[in-house]
Structures are given as structure tokens and as C-alpha cells.
Chain A
Amino acid sequence: MENAKITIRDLNLYFGKQHILKNINVEIPENKITVIMGPSGCGKTTLMKSMNRLTDLNPDAKLSGSILIDGKDILHSGDDITKIRKMMGLLAQRPYPLPMNIYNNIAYGLRISGRKKKQFLNKRIEHYLRQVNLWDEVKDRLREPAGALSIGQQQRLCLARGLAVDPEIILADEPTSALDPISSQTIEEKFLELKNNYTIVLVTHILRQAKRIADHVVFMYLGEVIEQGTAQEIFENPQQEKTKSYLKGIFY
């Protein structure tokens, strides 16, 4: 594939003795929405978390193989891991606002990288809050604790927070599973807009969601990649038996 933003080759992940990811070979295209899907427990979240090396947080984790982002192997380069992680924004299953007010939540990532000027921060924060359609709702209560927002608002806040550090890739782990249908729709629409400027990797177990927004699909089962291709290829003409069964809804 040309324009592969992320290329994963022969990736194996062990948690202690358990072989969680088996010989993963995946290519994630640039500026498209790639959905990783499969039944629960198949390793899709782990695969996504290995892309920004959050798996390092688990002391028993052992990774081998290579993960190339823009051609550079993040598993073996000597680069500061924080720089690598900043390239990728993370949206989790449930919103996890930082224990600060709304303003500081978004300013956090900016301050960490050394941008502290008030004017600059103010402009950026307004820009990103507008981007997730939150500005009008919170512009008068920027100094209130982020925990006071509704769950749908919190998730949008977390999205804005992640965008504020100018990532190139967005990793989303079932981002709408805790949300009501209207907030879910908002997030999905946002992703469709954002894909023009960002590479989006989305993990979901909601087949309909995948069908709605995916450009590219990776299907996993029990730690292996069974099939991957464009959304059209996978949904209309799946090659593997397991993919066919999953799409028919035979196993979750």
C-alpha cells in the first residue's frame, strides 16, 4: 500500500506467558478511518495500544517485531517515547477527564510541551472546543471542573484535548460505547470530518458503526489478523470463513 501511515510487521505480544498478539501484519492508510473489529477478547484494543506503546505500562509485556510510523520503527528507535505518543491522540471507552477544570484539561498537553503563553493557549483552546462543537456550551464555564460535564460532553472534551497537541493519528478505543445515541452520532460525524486531516484508527465491536464510517477494515480473531482491506472489499466480498461468520452475526 502506498501512503501507509502505520505499517506493522510480524508483531508478537506476550503478557507474561500468554501470547496475546500473533504475527500481526497490518497497514494503516493515511487520512482514512481504519476500523479494527472482531469479537471481544480478540486483541483489537491491545493492538491499538501497542501502536503508541501504552502496552509498556504493563510490566509483563514483551513486544517483538516492528511498528513503522512514517517509515520509522518506534519499537527500536532511541527516540523519546513521549514524542512518539504525542503524535497519536487517544480516545478511551469512557471519558477520563483530567482532575482539573475544562480550560486546564485542554491546556495540559500544550503546557507539557512548553507552550505557556496565555494568549496562545486561549486561542487554541477556543479553536479546539469549537471543532468538537463544545465551545458554545462551555464558553462561560471554562474554569469549572471537567467532571461536572455530562458524559457526552466529557468525551468531546477528551477529543478536543487530544487534538490540541496536534497529533497526526487518532486512536479511538470504542469511543461511543458509554455514550447515548445522540452523543455517539456527534462523535461519529466528527470523525468523518477529521479524517481529512488525521489518520484515524478506531476499535469497535458495533458492526453498524463500522459499516457507517469505515474506509478500511482490519478483522481480528483470537489475537490474529484474519483479513484486512477496504471497507467495500470486506463488507461486500469477505474472503475468509471467519470474517463471513462474524459479519453474519454468528459470533460476537
Chain B
Amino acid sequence: MALYGKKYFLETRVKIRRIQMSRFLRDKLHGTWMVVTLIVVVAMPFILLIGLFLKSKMLLDDHSIFHLLFSKEWKPLSGEFGFYPFIISSVWVTAVALLISAPICLLTSIHLTQYAKKWVLKVMHPVIDILAGIPSVIFGVWGILVIVPGISDYIGPFFGKAVSGYSILAGAIVLSIMIIPFILNILIEIFKTIPVELSEASLSLGASKWQTIKFVILKKALPGIVSAFGLGMSRAFGETIAVLMVVGNVTKIPTGIFQPGYPLPALIANNYGEMLSIPLYDSALMLAALILFVVVLIFNFASRLLIVRYERHN
């Protein structure tokens, strides 16, 4: 201390205190911003819900919700807003897509986790991830290039139908490929977490590998599998652009998968231009968005609850 002198000592003391104060100030600022982000993000779903609800209120004031959901008449110019054809189309497309993708996902996930050699899984991982990252429009383009003509030229005639190809089936096929990587990743995770000792126990009782899979592994994984499909369904229900491009967009209740359909998201996407020119049309489309939001939320909520219960059980 004698080397530096009292003045230097005091100056350093002040400097240190200033640095300490600025550290704490910075900490406070960061902390405050973090709380702000938390509030914003947590509030988001509620703001979405309330916003959409307020916007659809005008329509709800004039019509009952049951009438809107179940009426088959969609004539906006006359003030008729029956969502039934769109809801049914959405249900059709989603259901068929799940029907196609569920067995494929199950079979592939079992193959990759129980039977295939390690390098196969390593190769399939990037394949699945890239498939998951391909944007919706690209699937739509592919659908128009390959699926639609495929249906009109091959699949349709095979069943004796002369169709344009723009149909529920086209939408379902495209949709199924879009949700496959999503469901597949969840299923692979689930099968990976089943302890190998359970398989060992079954095998040492004289069961074959396939019997072990059928009676033990699948049973153990069942809640997880169901919730994976539930999440896949909710993803399919909300998918807009790809389906829009191949499904036909005809306002009619479809009577078969080769018929065109008009799912709910497509309704919103196609008509936003006319929204403001026809009275109550914007309310109607906001209501459609709200219905979509609520349905997806319910599916997600239920599926994730299943997963939480399933993990707790283990």
C-alpha cells in the first residue's frame, strides 16, 4: 500500500463500487426484461382466444352456435353461415390421413427400434428431420405434380371413377406424409424408453421377439402411442396450405374420398380477400379460426395429459 499511496487506494475503492453497482443494475435490467418476456408469452394464448372471440362476437350475437356448427348452408351474401360442410371436410381429411399414416408410423418405428441395424436408424434420422422441415407449400406443389394426377390417372380409374384428382384423398395423402415425421419421432422416443429388461423378461419366458413386441412392448407403450396419434391429428387438423392446393375447395359435403372437399383452414385462407366486403364475413372467418384454435387446443391438451400420466406411471 505504501507503494501506491492513499489517493490511488481511494480511487480504486470508488471504481470497484461503481462496477458492482453496474453489475447489479445490469442484473436488474435483464431480470426485468425476462419477466416481461414471460408475461408476454404466457398471455399470448389468452390474447389470441379473446381476440378471435371478440371478432366473432358479431356473428355469434345474431346466430346460435349450434346453428352455425351444424347448418349446411353456406351463403355469405344472404347471411347464411353454416360451417358444417367445412367441419366435415376437415374431419374426413384428418381421419383418412391418420388412417394412412398410423400403420406406417407404427411399423416403421418398431422396425427402427427393435429390428433394424444401427446404421439404418442413423440414416433415417436425417431423412425424418428433413421431411419434417419441408415447408407446407412444397408439399402442395408435389401434391399437384404427383398425387393429383396419380389419383385421376391411376387410383381413380382403378376404382372405376373418373375424377379430377383434386379430392379428399389427395389432401389426406399429402397430409399423411406431413405428419409422419412428427408422429414417428414421438413413437421412436417412446419405444426407446421402454426398459430392455422388460423384453428380456418376456424372452426368457420363451416368447419370440415378435410375440414380445405384440404382447408386451406395444401394451406398455399404448398410452404413448395414443397420444402420439392425438398430437398428429391436431397437427393435421390445422394444416392449411398443402391441403388447400390439392383438395378441390368445393363447398359441398363430400360423400366419398374421391370427391373434393373444403376443410376449415382452407376456408379461411381462400376468402380473406372478400372478408371486408361482405357483412359479417370477417366475423365468420374469425369464428372459423376460433373453432380451429379450440379443437387443436383440446386435442393437444388431452394428448399431452396422457403423456404426463404415462410418464408418471413409469
- A residues within 8 Å of B by Cβ? 49, 52, 54, 57, 59, 82-83, 85-86, 88-90, 92, 94, 96, 98-100, 108-109, 112-113, 147, 158, 161-162, 165, 171
Q: Which of A59, A85, A171 sits near B203, CB closer than 8 Å? A: A85
How many residue pairs link A and B with beta carbons under 8 A? The number is 68
Q: Which of B202, B206, B313 sits near A98, CB closer than 8 Å? A: B202
Which A residues are CB-close (under 8 A) to B195?
Answer: 96
Return the CB mask of B183-219 against A: 1 if under 8 Å, else 0. 0000000000001111111111111100100011001
Which A residues are CB-close (under 8 A) to B117?
Answer: 59
B72 on interface, CB distance cutoff 8 Å: no
Verify A86–B205 contact, CB threshold 8 A.
yes
Complex CA gap A193/B42 in Å reads 63
B118 on interface, CB distance cutoff 8 Å: yes
Contact of A98 with B211 at beta-carbon distance under 8 Å, contacts A57-B196, A59-B118, A86-B206 already known? no
Verify A99–B216 contact, CB threshold 8 A.
yes
B55 on interface, CB distance cutoff 8 Å: no
Which B residues are CB-close (under 8 A) to A52?
Answer: 204
Verify A82–B206 contact, CB threshold 8 A.
yes
Verify A165–B206 contact, CB threshold 8 A.
yes
Verify B201–A96 contact, CB threshold 8 A.
yes
Verify A109–B206 contact, CB threshold 8 A.
yes
Complex CA gap A108/B205 in Å reads 8
Verify B204–A98 contact, CB threshold 8 A.
no
Verify B202–A83 contact, CB threshold 8 A.
no
Verify B205–A162 contact, CB threshold 8 A.
yes
Verify A88–B205 contact, CB threshold 8 A.
no
Interface-centre pick from B197, B204, B216 (highest chain A CB count, 10 A): B204
Verify A90–B204 contact, CB threshold 8 A.
yes
Contact of A94 with B220 at beta-carbon distance under 8 Å, contacts A83-B206, A109-B205 already known? no
Complex CA gap A45/B198 in Å reads 16
Verify B216–A98 contact, CB threshold 8 A.
yes
Q: Could you pull out 20 A-B pairs where Cβ atoms are within 8 angstroms?
A: A49-B200, A54-B200, A54-B204, A57-B196, A57-B200, A82-B206, A82-B208, A86-B205, A86-B206, A90-B200, A92-B197, A92-B200, A96-B197, A98-B201, A98-B216, A99-B216, A99-B219, A109-B207, A112-B206, A162-B204
Which B residues are CB-close (under 8 A) to A89?
Answer: 204-205
Q: Which of A96, A109, A113, A165 sits near B198, CB closer than 8 Å? A: A96
Complex CA gap A92/B206 in Å reads 16
CB distance from A57 to the nearest CB of B (A): 7
Contact of A90 with B219 at beta-carbon distance under 8 Å, contacts A96-B195, A112-B206 already known? no
Interface-centre pick from A85, A113, A165 (highest chain B CB count, 10 A): A85
Which residue of the partner chain B has the closest CB to A104?
A: B215
Interface-centre pick from A49, A98, A100, A147 (highest chain B CB count, 10 A): A98
Which B residues are CB-close (under 8 A) to A85?
Answer: 203-206
Which B residues are CB-close (under 8 A) to A54?
Answer: 200, 203-204
Complex CA gap A86/B211 in Å reads 14
Return the CB mask of B253-294 against A: 1 if under 8 Å, else 0. 000000000000000000000000000000000000000000
Complex CA gap A94/B314 in Å reads 14
CB distance from B12 to the nearest CB of A (A): 55
Interface-centre pick from B196, B197, B205, B220 (highest chain A CB count, 10 A): B205
CB distance from B117 to the nearest CB of A (A): 6
Which residue of the partner chain B has the closest CB to A94?
A: B197
CB distance from B30 to the nearest CB of A (A): 45
Which A residues are CB-close (under 8 A) to B196?
Answer: 57
Which A residues are CB-close (under 8 A) to B216?
Answer: 98-99
Which A residues are CB-close (under 8 A) to B215?
Answer: 98, 108
Q: Please report which residues of chain B, range 14-37, place their CB below 8 angstroms from some CB of chain A when the two chains form the complex.
A: none
Verify B204–A88 contact, CB threshold 8 A.
yes
CB distance from A184 to the nearest CB of B (A): 19
Complex CA gap A99/B313 in Å reads 11
Verify A82–B219 contact, CB threshold 8 A.
no
Which A residues are CB-close (under 8 A) to B206?
Answer: 82-83, 85-86, 109, 112-113, 165
Complex CA gap A49/B196 in Å reads 13
CB distance from A79 to the nearest CB of B (A): 13
Which A residues are CB-close (under 8 A) to B313?
Answer: 147
Verify B204–A112 contact, CB threshold 8 A.
no
Verify B203–A92 contact, CB threshold 8 A.
no
CB distance from A51 to the nearest CB of B (A): 11
Q: Please report which residues of chain B, range 202-252, place their CB below 8 angstroms from some CB of chain A when the two chains form the complex.
A: 202-208, 211, 215-216, 219-220
Which B residues are CB-close (under 8 A) to A99?
Answer: 216, 219-220
Q: Which of A49, A57, A165, A171 sits near B205, CB closer than 8 Å? A: A165
Which B residues are CB-close (under 8 A) to A100?
Answer: 219
Which residue of the partner chain A has the closest CB to B200?
A: A54
Which B residues are CB-close (under 8 A) to A147?
Answer: 313
